[in-house]
């Protein structure tokens, strides 16, 4: 069957070179022995997992991290060989596939090990123990729990403790009291093990960029800033190198019409023109991830900021134009145009959320187009 083209002009444009540059700059910031774990969960934070994974590996990342077994399978079907770490919980039924296809699983329960040992494995299953040093999600939280888990793993012939890790709750905040407590808890538990695993990792993006270099341990998990976004305003002010936003969102005007003073636009007639002007219609709406909270947000037309007016519809939205542009005029919703720039952080602020959420909620209906593919 012939592959359909992308007939609608709405698209997300992903700059793979920006991602490579962000990894390259991190590499120069790390100690020589430290590996880079490229976090590509959630479809690479909405950027497209396979293309981003290839770019990350090209630039020197050695491990890919995902959240779920299904994400790992998606990558393994296309990219053989490279280590893939599942950061979240996995069902024991996934063990045979993981051992056969070199997928590293996160473990935090001796009961899980007992059940997983009943699964048929033909190759060594690599496991990373998750420490709950204070995040309160998954993980072992005491020496007794850790040693029970470690001993359970040791008793299974094909299971190997390949790593141990934790996740920090407040690494992107200025107040370091809770962060330091987590660091102390993690170090104490790691040091209590009979032998150190191959990989100890605790540094998320914020930790890797602005904290003590000794916390890099054997590997760092590079997430949000690999895509050119700072984890918080605190980290943004202390970045050791510039980062480049890789995600842009573009469309075109599909209709332009004159509006008279007193005329209204959109559902609920929430916008009424105060004076004569021009309205442009864009083929993008909340079904594409452009949620209704973005009403009033600016877009770029001919390098000029133009506000979204009225309520955002499921498939379309309307903007106020300074003049009657032609149908087909390019519109930038995120990214750069003629010296102006709309950042993901700007959208996040308007939506009262974090920048992580913005590219993740741009739905699969919006095709990802890649620049600088090798």
With tokens 């187009």, the residue in question is: 369
DSSP percent split of the chain into helix, strand, coil, nearest 5? 30, 25, 40
Please, are residues 37 and 50 in contact by the beta-carbon 8 Å criterion?
A: no
Q: What angle do CA 88, 100, 36 make, to 5 degrees?
A: 50
State the Cα–Cα distance between residues 83 and 277, nearest whole angstrom. Answer: 57
Residue 353: CB atoms within 10 Å: 14
SS3 318: strand
Identify whether 234 is a catalytic site residue: no
Which ranges of 4-94 does DSSP label H, i.e. alpha helix? 16-29, 41-45, 49-58, 69-76
Q: Rg of the chain's alpha carbons, rounded to an integer?
A: 24
State the Cα–Cα distance between residues 103 and 349, nearest whole angstrom. Answer: 37
Which is it for strands 125-131 and 159-166: parallel, antiparallel or unpaired?
Answer: parallel
Own/partner contacts of 340-345, CB < 8 Å, gap of 24 or more, are 340/300, 340/303, 340/304, 340/305, 342/298, 342/299, 342/300, 343/245, 344/229, 344/245, 344/247, 345/229, 345/230
Token pair of 256, please? 């332009």
Identify whether 211 is a catalytic site residue: no
SS3 107: strand
Per annotation, catalytic residue among 7, 41, 325, 356: 41
State the Cα–Cα distance between residues 156 and 81, nearest whole angstrom. Answer: 24
Please, are residues 219 and 241 in contact by the beta-carbon 8 Å criterion?
A: no
Per annotation, catalytic residue among 150, 267, 278, 338: 267
- Closest alpha carbon to 139 in 102, 121, 117, 166: 166
Task: Give the residue numbers marked as catalytic.
Answer: 41, 267
């Amino acid at each position: 069957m012939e592959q359909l083209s992308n007939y609608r002009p709405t698209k997300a444009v992903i700059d793979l070179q920006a991602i490579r540059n962000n990894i390259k700059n991190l590499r120069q910031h790390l100690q020589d022995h430290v590996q880079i774990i490229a976090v590509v969960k959630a479809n690479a934070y909405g950027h497209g997992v396979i293309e981003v994974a290839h770019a990350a590996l090209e630039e020197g990342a050695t491990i890919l991290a995902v959240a779920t077994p299904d994400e790992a399978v998606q990558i393994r079907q296309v990219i053989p060989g490279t280590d893939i770490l599942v950061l979240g919980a996995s069902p024991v039924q996934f063990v045979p596939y993981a051992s056969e296809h070199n997928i590293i699983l996160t473990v935090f329960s001796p009961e899980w090990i007992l059940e997983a040992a009943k699964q048929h494995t033909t190759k060594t299953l690599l496991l990373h123990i998750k420490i709950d040093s204070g995040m309160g999600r998954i993980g072992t939280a005491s020496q007794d729990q850790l040693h029970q888990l470690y001993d359970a793993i040791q008793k299974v012939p094909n299971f190997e403790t390949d790593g141990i890790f934790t996740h920090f709750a407040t690494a992107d905040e200025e107040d370091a009291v809770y962060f330091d407590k987590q660091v102390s808890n993690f170090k104490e538990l790691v040091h209590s093990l009979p032998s150190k695993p191959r990989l100890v990792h605790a540094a998320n993006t914020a930790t890797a960029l602005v904290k003590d270099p000794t916390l890099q341990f054997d590997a760092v998990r590079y997430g949000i800033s690999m895509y050119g976004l700072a984890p918080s305003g605190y980290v943004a002010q202390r970045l050791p190198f510039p980062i480049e936003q890789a995600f842009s969102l573009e469309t075109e005007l599909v209709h332009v019409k004159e509006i008279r003073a007193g005329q209204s636009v959109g559902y609920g007639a929430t916008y009424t023109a105060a004076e004569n002007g021009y309205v442009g219609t864009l083929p993008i709406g909340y079904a594409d991830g452009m949620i209704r909270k973005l009403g009033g947000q600016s877009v770029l037309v001919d390098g000029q900021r133009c506000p979204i007016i009225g309520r955002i519809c499921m498939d379309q939205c309307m903007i106020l134009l300074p003049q009657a542009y032609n149908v087909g005029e390019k519109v930038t919703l995120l990214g750069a145009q003629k010296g102006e720039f709309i950042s993901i952080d700007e959208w996040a602020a308007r939506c009262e959320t974090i920048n992580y959420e913005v590219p993740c909620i741009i739905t699969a209906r919006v095709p990802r187009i890649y620049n600088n593919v090798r």
